[in-house]
Structure 1
Amino acid sequence: MLKKNSFSGGTDGANITTSNSGGTSGNAFDSWGSAPSYTSSQATGLRAPLVAKLHDLTSSSDSLIWNYTLSARTVWLREYLYLSASPASDSVIVDESEFAVWITLKTDRTVTITSTGFTPVTFVASTTALPLNTWCRIEAKIVYGTTSSNGAVELRIYTSADSSTATETKTATGVNTGTTVGSSIAFDAVYGFDLLVDDLAITDVDWLGPAAINATATPSAVPASTSAPTPTISTGQSPSPAAVASVAAVPAPAVSTGQTTNATTVAAVSAVPTPTITVGTVSSVQATAVPAVASVAAPGLSTGSIIAPGAVAAAGVVPAQGVSAGSIFTASAVPAVAHVPLAVVTVPILPGDLVVLPGQVEYDGTLWGEGTSFRVNEITGWTSLPTIDNGNTLRPQRHGAWSGRKLAQQRLVTIKMQALAGTDPSTVDSLLDELAAAASVPDDESERNLVIRGWGPKRIARGAVVDFVSSMDDDYSVGMPTVSVLIACSDARKYGLTVTSVVVDNGSTAAAVNEGNTSTHPLVRINGPCTNPSITNQTTDRILSFGVTLASNETLLVDTNAGTAVIGAADYMHTLAPLSVPPEDWYLVKGTNAISYSASSGGANGVELQFQPAYLA
């Protein structure tokens, strides 16, 4: 795997996108954050004609991202940088998809490779500061470990941008770089100034080295000596001409052998020194696409596709009309064209599919956070416990209280965002209208999917917007107002996105593992044919039982969270057995639950539990 980009094929001043970053520039980026752009500023020498500008992180979230698949567990990367100032605060300039490793430019312009998070562990730190107002280069190697203690990193600093000798090298082994191999790398902006970058590259082969070397080969003049032999003299004759000795110098750099004089062949001896030749800048040439003729098989259906068949011509024959006596009439076949209505097949995007980076929020199919026009500054109420109703009752005549059940109230999640219209403040109202439309208050009691990712896996809840606050202040005047959105979730629990299915056979017991930190309510499918089905959670000693007979094509669907039991659209709660708990009181506690199933007859198709891990904090 090798991906590189010189930005040479862009347009000065244009934003860098996935569609315009390939071609003669190199490998197109797979995604980007905010609005990185092409620029000719400082694009001189080997950096010409264009470089990339990552705007000040104070007012943007510029980044350039490549996806990749490694052949092993090691990735190498290269980045040329032009610093016009020192960062206003420590800035992550490279991060990878598993968020196990950061490369950070410090305020003193030294570079570190660390773990990630709020208290990162430093693996290596340079003592060399990157220079100001000139191009320099960094290269790094990241080895993903198979355990939390056998990863490795190496950092190389080149204050002379295209040197093949590092100014400083730092190495660390036995460090925790994560055990999951990364699948993407982002080159990020810094705080305090616009960072210029060029000749970005990643590979899984070896160190990348300088992007280009500039040198000239100059061969020296080659001296060649010749001699004319004395001619043979016969008796009675005088030599004419006399013996001639000559020395010739052959002009540089051409050397010719086999020269002749009037006397005889001139032998030339030359030694040509081997010139040192170094490769200059190499430009990739993109081959023209070659059209190929092939027969295309019938297309398959994929997510989000629309199938629209054209008009279908159908031939029909109109029966001969009635003929009166004495006449002959022959009716011709009449072609008829029938138009088949367009068939539209759509597959919805699953909740959470849009969220790919930490700190991103997806609400009702709209994404906020990095890579969008809305930077998420703060989220409250998501990682903390919701308000708990304490069911304890105080003892009137002694210390303490009688213990009661503790139940969570609704979860209130506040998302503070900043609209990013700084490059054109006149568009700020359009951005706010877009946000207000996505965060509108529903007209009924329905709730929307809310998916948030921190540093770990994504979690989902369901809620509705109950407040939207925005001010026309100083930030608004420069196109970067702060907006606060409050979402109320009636079910205080957050859930993992993975749905687990456990099938329990009649007369047997199976384990249902809830990996969350609080109880979760499963969806229970009791499959016919069976009579008087009964499901027991042996861990909680609770029975869910129904006095009903199901046919072979019937399924009793019990939603323990909603407290319903239906066959199709018909309500079957009236068949709940006297010894059964209400469906709302039948749940899976955190950890392992032993589930058994029985039926007085039938039951060969078993019972299925579908559930998601649940979390309160």
Structure 2
Amino acid sequence: MSDLTEGQIRWRERLLFDGRDLALVDLQGWDDLPEVESGNVERPSRHGAWPGRALVGQRFVTATGVLTSARNLQAMSAVLTPLRRALTLPGDARQHPLTIRVGGQTLTSYGQVSARSIPGGPGYQAARPTVVVQWTCPDPRRYGRGRATQINAPRPSDDGLEYPLEYPLDYGEPARGGSAVLTNGGDTASHPVVTITGPCTRPRLINRNTGRTLEFHLALAETDTLVIDCERGTVTVNSNDGFHTLSTASVPPEHWTLEPGSNPVHFRPETSGHGAGASIVWNDAHI
């Protein structure tokens, strides 16, 4: 549960727009749908176009605030100096968390500062300057509640056919476990991180909502760990690259997503022993 109150903005773990020193007066681009890039292809000999998938571009967030607590220029400087320091450009491509609470909802996106404006004038001289900050978020999604589920490998039934056979046959109970319903409480697809532990062979994860499968040609011992980062599209086995183990029956990791709502997911390795399972971690995703 976030400790932010309405109108507050946290950037890189620093409470930037706190409503006391710096009060938010305008917010653009946060709850807007970013520019949509159409995948339509014009028909060469007919009216219209072949329909294609629409993709959303990166998100640009602009926050405008007013300094409210300073009573003189010296007090204003004491607030603006650390503010400027927090809004400098990083020396690398790492994205940092931008968390905003508006409309009673706290969500987090990841980006970098792309513009900052603290204009002079009467407001500045009166120790009530306006501060405008823009962030660019390459991933346009905003993330909410974090979730995690552990799916253990199916356990075979203890009963079944007994010999000599007697009719009618009693096949016993089906295998137990190996399934869970994963909920994405947002409105767009979320890319989870999946960690599979052995002992098992040919681990396979199926999302019945999308019909997509993750499957790998490998045998995991009890001490082995397979990690699939569906956002980055990476596969590692014991911290070593394992992308080559991806089965031809599998989709690329980036295509294995949790859609909005309920996602029945099944963990179905070819064989498994005690302790085998899949741990899945994700966040509700909002566009």
**Short-chain TM bin:** 0.7 to 0.9
1:503 aligns with 150
1:391 aligns with 39
Matches of 2:215 and 2:273, distance apart in 1: 13
2:23 aligns with 375
1:131-173 per-residue CA deviation (whole Å, 9 max, x = no partner) reads xxxxxxxxxxxxxxxxxxxxxxxxxxxxxxxxxxxxxxxxxxx
In structure 1, stretches of 5+ residues that fail to align are 1-351
1:548-585 per-residue CA deviation (whole Å, 9 max, x = no partner) reads 11110222111100111113431111111122111001
Give SS of 2:248's match: coil
Output the aligned Cα RMSD: 1.7
2:158 aligns with none
2:283 aligns with 612
Kindly report which structure 2 residues correspond to 1:7-156, keeping only aligned pairs within 5 A, or say none: none
1:425 aligns with 73
Give SS of 1:435's match: helix
How many residues align? The count is 263
Task: Answer 1 or 2: higher relative contact order, Cα 8 Å, separation at least 6.
Answer: 2
2:169 aligns with none
Select the residue among 533, 541, 563 that pairs with 2:233. Answer: 563
Give SS of 1:612's match: strand
1:502-523 per-residue CA deviation (whole Å, 9 max, x = no partner) reads 2233343321111110000011
1:473 aligns with 121
Tell me the amino acid that sits aligned with residue 506 of structure 1: A
TM-score computed with the length of structure 2 as normaliser? 0.87
Matches of 1:586 and 1:495, distance apart in 2: 18
The offset of 1:492, in angstroms, is: 0.6
1:462-493 per-residue CA deviation (whole Å, 9 max, x = no partner) reads 11101111111111010111111111111110
Matches of 2:256 and 2:120, distance apart in 1: 50
The offset of 1:393, in angstroms, is: 1.2
**Compared with structure 1, are the counterparts of its residues 591 and 421 closer, same or farther at alpha carbon in structure 2 (3 Å cutoff)?**
closer
In structure 2, stretches of 5+ residues that fail to align are 155-177
1:596 aligns with 266
Point out the structure with max Rg over C-alpha: 1
1:219-255 per-residue CA deviation (whole Å, 9 max, x = no partner) reads xxxxxxxxxxxxxxxxxxxxxxxxxxxxxxxxxxxxx
Kindly report which structure 2 residues correspond to 1:509-548, keeping only aligned pairs within 5 A, or say none: 509-548=179-218
Q: Is the 8 A contact 2:7 2:19 kept in 1?
A: no
1:231 aligns with none
Task: Tell me whether 1:581 sits opposite 2:229 in the alignment.
Answer: no
**Compared with structure 1, are the counterparts of its residues 516 and 388 closer, same or farther at alpha carbon in structure 2 (3 Å cutoff)?**
same
Q: Is the 8 A contact 1:368 1:375 kept in 2?
A: no
Matches of 1:362 and 1:372, distance apart in 2: 14
1:92 aligns with none
Task: Tell me whether 1:572 sits opposite 2:220 in the alignment.
Answer: no
The offset of 1:501, in angstroms, is: 1.6
Matches of 1:487 and 1:542, distance apart in 2: 34
Matches of 1:535 and 1:419, distance apart in 2: 52
Select the residue among 105, 110, 114 that pairs with 1:457. Answer: 105
Matches of 1:377 and 1:371, distance apart in 2: 9
The offset of 1:589, in angstroms, is: 1.0
Q: Is the 8 A contact 2:62 2:135 kept in 1?
A: yes
Tell me the amino acid that sits aligned with residue 593 of structure 1: N
The offset of 1:421, in angstroms, is: 5.0
Matches of 1:469 and 1:381, distance apart in 2: 17
2:131 aligns with 483
Give SS of 2:236's match: strand
Tell me the amino acid that sits aligned with residue 281 of structure 2: Q
Matches of 2:16 and 2:219, distance apart in 1: 50
Q: Is the 8 A contact 1:514 1:591 kept in 2?
A: yes
